[in-house]
Amino acid sequence: MPKNVRVRFAPSPTGPLHIGGVRTALYNYLFAKKHGGTFILRIEDTDQKRYVANAEKYIIEALEWSGIPYDEGLEKEAGYGPYRQSERKEIYQKYAQQLVDAGWGYYAFDTAEELDKQRKNSEANKETFIYNWHNRSEMNNSLSLSKEEVDRRIAAGDNYVIRFKTPKDEILVLQDLIRGEVKIDTNVLDDKVLYKTDGMPTYHLANIIDDHLMEISHVIRGEEWLPSMALHILLYRAFDWEAPEFAHLPLLMKPVGKGKLSKRDGDKLGFPVFPLEYTNKSTNEVSRGYREDGYFPEAFINMLAFLGWNPGTEQEIFSLEELIQAFSLERVSKSGAKFNLDKTKWFQQQYMQRADDSEIARMFQTDILSKAENLTNQNDTKYITKVVSLIKERATFVADLWDLGHYFFETPSSYDPKVAKKAWKEGTDNLMKEVIIILDEISDFSSENIETNIKTWIQEKELGFGKVLMPFRLSLVGSMQGPHVFDIAAMIGKDETISRIQKAINQLS
């Protein structure tokens, strides 16, 4: 990699960042870090009509939560700012003028109504309207009108745009780091608007000016921008600037069926398509986020990394540092990457199992236990960590721990009726009363001691384990779930164990 690597993530603040956008940011981040480069955040807000006020904050927060912060950009000025395009108006104006002066751009005065009429005419002839070499001399622009007329219109304050004069009869051979060679016939390109009536550049102009001025070495972005690459390369040529290298990432696809992954797929199948929860301020609609759904950022990022890339080995669990080492654009696929909910949950479950019990306990305590009232041991970190070690195996999310282990913190308030019917037979209360006596005599109330004492007694009386252990568990848990029942008894302690059995006797006999 000879050049100084500088890459940018350049979202438009038009709403919450889709996970496809986070993946683009991630690949840029990985690429930058792998090559000792700089990861830049630039906000492309030239389209005032689509601007959403809280979107910018959301983007920054999403990158932070994902653990892929930018090195340079908004509020991290490094000599290339401002990083918000709306603050760079004068820069674009100057370059737009330069294009016109050099003959690469021209003023076009066609009104929206005129263009609409042309479009309708084309449609009537079953053609698509395209503004380029084949009709530009018939339209109202500085190529068809006299210089005097053009000057007059501009002086009179007529609305105009600046269009790109796309060269004719040329086959462009473009290089994409993921797709290889891409050939484009310039005759099919339209003369894109570069500068708008409102004094703002369009995406195309602002994007390449900024990439040039910010010394971007590699443009890594979504496949939806591949059709714009030809224009961008032509613009670099028009300015006589060296173009960056390009890499267009595969789309994220629906889990079932064809097409791009949309918010609707998420709503239908029950998964978020946004990193963080988002409230649409105008409709008050709330969209769920990976963070709020309980995913760990490391699991989320690991999952995203695999949507369009693979290391070429069997390894699937990668820390961010390992991803940086393993990542390369050569291993990014050309075809769309299908989102897979089961796999997404699998990653989360893997991170849950690998995490430190004490770390999980801390989350369990702050996110769940501390919010409830009157739980036993809800502030005992050591106790909670022990609980986590006993039940974590079956958990994917921290929230699962409550369902899996609430009985470590509270006495069951009811008993699963189906289990009760099976476990609590005639005579069970007498057996349980004897169990209480045995338990009461144990001085060191450890799991092993409880187990030995109860099992010895069962064997001596030739009772059969289920007869005793089923109602025993039902008394402590309220159902048949949970780890080793003697571990539960030891955890909650002698008094609580006995009191729960007594309560069950009272309620179930």
Q: Which residues are catalytic?
A: 263
Of the pair 12, 497, the CB lying nearest ligand GLU is at 12
10-18, 154-162, 239-247, 316-324 -> range binding ligand GLU (CB under 6 A): 10-18
What are 420's two structure tokens? 């009760």
Of the pair 12, 287, the CB lying nearest ligand GLU is at 12
What are 400's two structure tokens? 């699962």
Per rule CB under 6 A, count of chain residues that contact ligand GLU: 8
Tell me, what DSSP letter sits at residue 43? B
Cα diameter, the chain: 114
- The verdict on 38 binding ligand GLU (CB under 6 A) reads no
8-16, 163-171, 289-297, 336-344 -> range binding ligand GLU (CB under 6 A): 8-16
5-13, 64-72, 440-448, 463-471 -> range binding ligand GLU (CB under 6 A): 5-13
Task: Estimate to the nearest angstrom the gap between the alpha carbon of 183 and the chain centroid.
Answer: 33
Total residues found in the chain within this entry: 509
Alpha-carbon distance 383 to 391, whole Å? 13
Tell me, what DSSP letter sits at residue 245? E
Of the pair 163, 204, the CB lying nearest ligand GLU is at 204
In the range 301-360, which residues lie near ligand GLU by CB under 6 A? none
Of the pair 221, 291, the CB lying nearest ligand GLU is at 221
Of the pair 207, 385, the CB lying nearest ligand GLU is at 207
Give kind and range of the element (H or E) at residue 422.
Answer: helix 417-423
Tell me, what DSSP letter sits at residue 76? B
Asked if residue 176 lies in contact with residue 247, where contact means CB atoms within 8 angstroms, the answer is yes
Of the pair 39, 364, the CB lying nearest ligand GLU is at 39
DSSP, collapsed to helix, strand or coil, labels residue 313 as coil
- The verdict on 12 binding ligand GLU (CB under 6 A) reads yes
Task: Kindly give the pairing relationship between strand 38-41 and strand 72-73.
Answer: parallel
Which parts of 329-482 are beta strand (E)? 337-338
Task: Estimate to the nearest angstrom the gap between the alpha carbon of 50 and the chain centroid.
Answer: 22
- Contacting ligand GLU (CB under 6 A), which of 10, 323, 337, 388? 10
| Contact string (CB under 6 A) for ligand GLU, positions 149-188, x = contact | ----------------------------------------
9-17, 99-107, 394-402, 474-482 -> range binding ligand GLU (CB under 6 A): 9-17
Q: How far is the CB of 417 from ligand GLU (least distance, A)?
A: 56
6-14, 330-338, 376-384, 421-429 -> range binding ligand GLU (CB under 6 A): 6-14
Alpha-carbon distance 483 to 20, whole Å? 40
Q: How far is the CB of 203 from ligand GLU (least distance, A)?
A: 6
What are 381's two structure tokens? 């970190």
| Contact string (CB under 6 A) for ligand GLU, positions 42-81, x = contact | --x-------------------------------------
Taken in order 337, 343, 348, 354, is the CA torsion positive or negative? negative
| Angle, CA 299 vertex, CA 296 and CA 302 arms, to 5° | 150
- The verdict on 225 binding ligand GLU (CB under 6 A) reads yes
Q: How far is the CB of 54 from ligand GLU (least distance, A)?
A: 17
Asked if residue 25 lies in contact with residue 63, where contact means CB atoms within 8 angstroms, the answer is yes
Alpha-carbon distance 362 to 370, whole Å? 10
Q: How far is the CB of 232 from ligand GLU (least distance, A)?
A: 8
What torsion do the CA atoms of 431, 437, 442, 448 make, to the nearest 10 degrees?
Answer: 10
Q: How far is the CB of 142 from ligand GLU (least distance, A)?
A: 28
Compute CA distances 192 → 10, 104, 201, whole Å. Answer: 20, 12, 11
Residues interacting with ligand GLU, by CB under 6 A? 10-12, 44, 203, 207, 221, 225
